[in-house]
């Protein structure tokens, strides 16, 4: 069973598209970039390339400040009124960015913005659970999960009201429960009273 967050969710989709799902029972994509982040003629609701060019410029100009600005702003939703800010999480995010390869982190911007996993999602016949915050400022839900659920043959979407991009950090207990319930084969429809569920089976 495969679980991926953000770009990792795109990696799970690409793995299944490339290698098939014969050895994969289920998959969970959390705040995932799939099917496509970049605005194109075929994907008019995506984000303009200028947004990602801004990320690249920020890294080039001041890598250390870039890795502070992102977590103190949209990644954890710290820029929202009344947000509970964890300085520890911010500095942990900064540390991870600073010890990563500059080229690897820089190239990742192209990967998470331009990778099109539309066909990968269409071929994932296994049960797939999408978990996404409806206030995700990094990977907007309309561009990703709400578009992706329409492509999955056996997909379910749980939306976290007010949820930011960093769901595994900020909503750890709820995420863990949802993961275990899904992976154990729990009756997902019983959760409807607690959250928005969209199911597409064909």
Write out the chain in H/E/C secondary structure.
Answer: CEEEECHHHHHHHHHHHHHCCCCCCCEEEECCCCCCCECCCCCCCCECHHHHHHHHHHHHHCHHHHHHHHHHHHHCCCCCCCCCCCHHHHHHHHHHHHHCCHHHHHHHHHHHHHCCCHHHHHCCCCCEEEEEECCCCCCCCCCCHHHHCCCCCEEEEEEECCCCCCHHHHCHHHHHHHHHHHHCCCCHHHHCCCCEEEEEEC
For the chain, first and last CA: distance in Å?
22
Q: Which of 113, 143, 165 is the last residue of a domain?
A: 113
**Angstrom distance (rounded) from CA 60 to CA 64:** 10
pLDDT at 87: 96
166 and 141 co-located in one domain:
yes
Clarify whether residues 192 and 129 are in a common domain.
yes
On whether both 134 and 107 belong to a single domain, the answer is no
Residues 166 and 106 in one domain: no
Confidence at residue 12, expressed as pLDDT on a 0 to 100 scale: 98
Identify whether residues 36 and 135 lie together within a single domain: yes
Please say which residue of 70, 85, 113 terminates a domain: 113
pTM above 0.85, yes or no: yes
Which entry of 5, 6, 113, 132 is annotated as an active-site residue?
6
> What is the residue range of 109's domain?
49-113
Same structural domain, 96 and 195: no
Q: Rounded to the nearest 10 degrees, how much is the dihedral formed by the CA atoms of 131, 162, 77, 102?
A: 20
Number of domains in the chain: 2
Q: What is residue 188's predicted lDDT score, i.e. its pLDDT?
A: 44
Q: Which residues of the chain have pLDDT under 70?
A: 186-202
Catalytic residue among 5, 34, 117, 136: 136
Main-chain dihedrals φ then ψ at residue 124, nearest 5 degrees: -85, 90
Q: Is 5 part of the annotated catalytic residue set? A: no
Residues 122 and 194 in one domain: yes
Same domain, 154 and 143: yes
54 and 94 assigned to the same domain: yes
- State both tokens at 194: 């607690």
Q: Which of 85, 113, 141 is the last residue of a domain?
A: 113
User: Is residue 124 domain-shared with residue 37, that is, in the same domain?
Assistant: yes
* CATH number of residue 8's parent domain: 3.40.50.1820
Instruction: Say whether 165 is catalytic.
Output: yes
Q: Is residue 37 domain-shared with residue 126, that is, in the same domain?
A: yes
Same domain (yes/no): 92, 127 = no
pLDDT digits (tens, 9 = 90+) for 38-80: 999 999 999 999 999 999 999 999 999 999 999 999 999 999 9
Q: Is 6 a catalytic residue?
A: yes
Among the listed residues 120, 132, 144, 165, the single catalytic one is 165
């Amino acid at each position: 069973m495969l679980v991926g967050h953000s770009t990792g969710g795109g990696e799970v989709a690409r793995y299944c598209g490339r290698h098939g799902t014969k050895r994969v029972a289920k998959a969970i994509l959390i705040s995932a970039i799939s099917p496509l982040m970049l605005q194109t003629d075929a994907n008019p609701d995506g984000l303009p390339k200028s947004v990602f060019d801004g990320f690249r410029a920020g890294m080039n100009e001041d890598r250390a400040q870039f890795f502070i600005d992102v977590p103190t702003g949209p990644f954890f939703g710290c820029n929202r009124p009344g947000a509970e800010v964890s300085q520890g999480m911010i500095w942990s995010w900064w540390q991870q960015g600073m010890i990563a390869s500059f080229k690897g982190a820089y190239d990742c911007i192209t990967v998470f913005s331009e990778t099109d996993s539309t066909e990968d999602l269409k071929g994932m016949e296994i049960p797939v659970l999408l978990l996404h915050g409806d206030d995700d400022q990094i990977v907007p839900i309309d561009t990703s999960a709400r578009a992706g659920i329409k492509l999955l043959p056996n997909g379910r979407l749980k939306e976290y009201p007010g949820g930011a991009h960093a769901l595994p950090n900020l909503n750890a207990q709820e995420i863990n429960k949802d993961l275990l319930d899904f992976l154990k084969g729990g009756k997902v429809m019983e959760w409807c009273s607690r959250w928005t569920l969209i199911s597409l089976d064909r």
